[in-house]
């Protein structure tokens, strides 16, 4: 972490200066995992301050996380736990939790409530993690590489869910490696290169800045990862 | 309080489903009791003493579940939860870490209680074991043993990097205690230099 001290300052300052969250995109996974953990306070940044909804995620943890839902990429659960138990255990931590049974049926896993979490398919599990992130009735949700490892159909299902949530006014902080996904879902994007913010704006702006027609090309140019021979 | 009970209920369910602690903390002490009972019956511990061998060993039997919970169960659960990033998931919820640890601690206190409650009637009915001193002193020392052993368990769970090193540390602590403290092997059978 110390090696990349510069990064934490830069990017975290950028985040704090943005008053309102909307769907955003980051790239560059090693820095990315650390930066998300710094934002959420599970890791200590070397310098700088983080503030979400006006709270410091380390000091005001208990107040902040009443209003924020999180899904970590390597999100794990107790072995042998059932869907209902995981939901119940999560719901009991919040003052005004949403009805998890309703959320489960809304996201198409209502019939799986009594199953073991490990017996769910990849898509069902990701939907369960969305449900878990939504249980607090959050104002912001952080979703870390939600669609990695899903098949095309499951991915589209998740997209639909996220778009619906966005329409309802929920702020979503999304990270992804799939440019098609980012283009469809995100209002504002942020591209990181080796941990530094190289672009922040909308998809259209990124195309204009890089002078390319496709967003994926724009991403490759901006992040400096152009494919040889193009 | 409600969240504490819900957490306790679910974590206890998971723990029982895992079966490890049910076997080591509840069933094993009972089996040891049965074996010792069948071997020794109501024989007195040594020539000319008032108490039977079973009465002498009863205290030790009650500590089996405490040691199993405190030195095997608790450190492994805590380090496994950290290794699997389950604690990290709890970190981004409003739950306080103290509450979470208190839930895990309560589970092992429940195991110890269940073990003692099953041991007492069996020992009393079949081998007429009675507590010669005061019950209060017996329960007091039981409580003290439990608290100190479980806190060792919490410490091991806290310092171990992952569940593997937790089990190594726990074994290093558990087996010498089991063998040399006089719980399983009576103090009297040890060679003389060791007794001193």
3-state SS class at B115: helix
- Please report which confidence band the pLDDT of residue A33 belongs to, taking 50, 70 and 90 as the band edges: low
* Cβ density class B84-98: b for 16+ within 10 Å, e for less: bbbbbbbbbbbbeee
pLDDT of A67: 84
A60: contact with B, CB 8 A cutoff: no
pLDDT (0 to 100) of residue A16: 35
Q: What is the pLDDT of residues A159-191, one digit of tens each?
A: 888 888 888 878 888 887 788 888 888 887 877
How far is residue A10's CA from residue A195's CA, in Å, rounded to a whole number? 9
Rounded to the nearest 10°, the torsion over CA A196, A199, A202, A207 is -140
C-alpha closest to that of B13 among B116, B107, B109: B107
Q: Going by DSSP bridges, is the β-strand pair A189-193/A171-175 parallel, antiparallel, or unpaired?
A: unpaired
Mean pLDDT for B181-187 is 66
Backbone angles phi, psi at B180, to 5 degrees: -95, -10
Q: In chain A, which residue ranges form alpha helices assigned H by DSSP?
A: 5-17, 29-40, 61-64, 83-91, 100-106, 122-134, 152-167, 179-185, 203-210, 215-222
pTM, two decimals, is 0.79
Q: Please write the tens of the pLDDT for every residue from A127-156.
A: 888 889 889 988 888 888 887 777 888 888
Residues in CB range of B76: below 8 A, 6 or more apart: B157, B163, B166, B167, B170
Biggest CA pair distance of chain B = 64
Cross-chain Cβ contact A92/B88 below 8 Å:
no
Residue A137: which region, alpha, beta or left (left: phi > 0; alpha: psi -120 to 50)? Answer: left
For the cut 60, the answer to whether the pLDDT of residue A11 exceeds it is no
Give chain B's mean pLDDT.
84
**Number of residues that make up chain B:** 196
Residue B147 · residue B55 · CB < 8 Å: no
DSSP conformational letter for B52: B
Q: Quote the pLDDT of residue B105.
A: 92
| Burial class of residue B101 (count of CB atoms within 10 Å of its CB; 0-12, 13-18, 19+) | middle
Minimum CA–CA partner of B82 in chain A: A76
Coil, helix or strand at residue A200:
strand
Please enumerate in sequence order all residues whose Cβ is within 8 A of that of A62, keeping only pairs 6 or more positions apart, or say none: B94, B96
Q: Which of B6, B14, B92 sits opposite A81 (nearest CB)?
A: B14
Q: What pLDDT does residue B107 have?
A: 93
Instruction: Please report the pLDDT score of residue A10 as a whole number.
Output: 32
- pLDDT of res. A195: 63
Q: What is the pLDDT of residue A23?
A: 36
The answer to whether B195 faces chain A, any CB pair under 8 Å, is no
Percentage of chain A exceeding pLDDT 70 = 76
pLDDT bucket at A84, cuts 50 / 70 / 90: very high
CA distances A162 to A48, B7, B88, Å, are 31, 30, 24
Exposed (0-12), middle (13-18) or buried (19+): which is A20, by Cβ within 10 Å? Answer: exposed
Q: How far apart are CA A77 and CA A104, in angstroms?
A: 17
CB contact under 8 A, A94 and B94: yes
Confidence grade of residue A6 (pLDDT, cut at 50, 70, 90): very low
Facing B10 at nearest CB: one of A65, A85, A94: A85
DSSP state string for A119-147: GS-HHHHHHHHHHHHHTT--SEEEEESTT
CA gap B134, B139 in Å, rounded: 9
The rounded distance, in Å, linking the Cα atoms of A159 and B67 is 51
What confidence score (pLDDT) does residue B143 get? Answer: 92
What ipTM describes this predicted complex? 0.78
Residue of A nearest to B99 (CA): A93
The DSSP H or E segment spanning B153 is helix B135-159
Residues B143 and B57: beta-carbon distance below 8 Å: no
- Residues B111-135: pLDDT tens digits? 999 999 999 888 888 888 877 778 8
- B96–A93 C-beta distance less than 8 A: no
Of A39-48, A104-113, B74-83, where does mean pLDDT reach its minimum?
A39-48
Rounded to the nearest 5 percent, the helix, strand and coil shares of chain B are 80, 0, 20
A145: left (phi over 0), alpha (psi -120 to 50) or beta: left
- Position A47 scores a pLDDT of 59
* pLDDT band for position B86 (cuts 50, 70, 90): confident
- Angstrom CA distances, B78 to B87, B104, B153, B159, stand at 9, 8, 9, 10
**Contact map slice: B 2-61 vs A, CB within 8 A:** 2-3, 6-7, 10-11, 13-14, 17-18
In residues, how long is chain A? Answer: 230
> What percentage of chain A carries pLDDT values higher than 90?
7
> Given B14, B81, B93, which is nearest A80 (Cβ)?
B14
Q: What is the mean pLDDT of residues A198-222?
A: 81
Please tell me which of the candidates A72, A89, A93 has its beta carbon nearest to residue B88.
Answer: A72
pLDDT score of A227: 54
Residue range A31-50: mean pLDDT, rounded = 68
Structure confidence at residue B113 (pLDDT): 92
Distance CA A81, CA A113 (A): 11
For residue A76, the chain B residues in CB contact (below 8 A) are: 84-86, 89
Partners of B90 on chain A (C-beta within 8 Å) are: 93
| DSSP state letter for B189 | G
pLDDT of B59 over the 90 cut: no
- In three-state secondary structure terms, A171 is strand
**Cα B144 versus chain centre, distance:** 12
CB contact under 8 A, A42 and B92: yes
């Amino acid at each position: 972490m110390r090696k990349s001290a510069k990064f934490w300052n830069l990017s975290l300052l950028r985040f704090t200066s943005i008053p309102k969250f909307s769907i955003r995109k980051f790239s560059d996974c090693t820095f990315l995992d650390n930066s998300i953990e710094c934002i959420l306070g599970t890791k200590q940044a070397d310098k700088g301050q983080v503030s979400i909804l006006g709270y410091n995620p380390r000091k005001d943890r208990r107040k902040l996380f009443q209003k924020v839902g999180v899904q970590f990429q390597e999100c794990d659960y107790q072995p042998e736990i059932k869907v209902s138990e995981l939901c119940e255990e999560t719901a009991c931590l919040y003052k005004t939790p949403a009805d998890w049974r309703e959320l489960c049926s809304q996201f198409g896993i209502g019939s799986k409530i009594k199953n073991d979490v490990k017996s769910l398919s990849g898509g069902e599990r990701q939907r369960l993690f969305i449900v878990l992130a939504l249980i607090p009735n959050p104002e912001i949700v952080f979703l870390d590489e939600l669609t990695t490892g899903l098949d095309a159909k499951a991915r589209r299902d998740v997209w639909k869910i996220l778009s619906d949530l966005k329409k309802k006014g929920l702020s979503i902080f999304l990270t992804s490696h799939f440019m098609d996904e980012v283009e469809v879902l995100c209002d504002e994007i942020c591209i990181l290169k080796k941990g530094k913010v190289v672009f922040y704006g909308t998809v259209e702006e990124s195309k204009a800045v890089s002078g390319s027609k496709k967003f994926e090309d724009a991403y490759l140019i901006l992040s400096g990862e152009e494919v040889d021979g193009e | 309080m409600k969240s504490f009970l819900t957490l306790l209920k679910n974590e206890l369910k998971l723990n029982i489903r895992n079966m490890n602690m049910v076997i080591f903390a509840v069933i094993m002490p009972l089996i040891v009791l049965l074996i010792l009972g069948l071997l020794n019956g109501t024989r007195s511990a040594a020539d000319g003493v008032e108490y039977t061998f079973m009465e002498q060993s009863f205290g030790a039997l009650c500590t089996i579940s405490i040691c199993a919970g405190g030195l095997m169960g608790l450190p492994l659960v805590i380090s496994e939860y950290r290794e699997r990033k389950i604690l990290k998931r709890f970190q981004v919820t409003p739950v306080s870490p103290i509450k979470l640890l208190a839930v895990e601690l309560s589970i092992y206190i429940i195991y110890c209680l269940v073990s003692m409650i099953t041991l007492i009637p069996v020992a009393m009915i079949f081998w007429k074991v009675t507590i010669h001193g005061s019950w209060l002193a017996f329960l007091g020392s039981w409580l003290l043993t439990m608290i100190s052993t479980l806190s060792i368990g919490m410490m091991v769970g806290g310092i171990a990097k992952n569940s593997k090193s937790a089990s190594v540390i726990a074994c290093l602590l558990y087996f010498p205690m089991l063998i040399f403290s006089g719980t399983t092997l009576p103090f009297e059978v040890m060679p003389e230099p060791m007794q001193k």
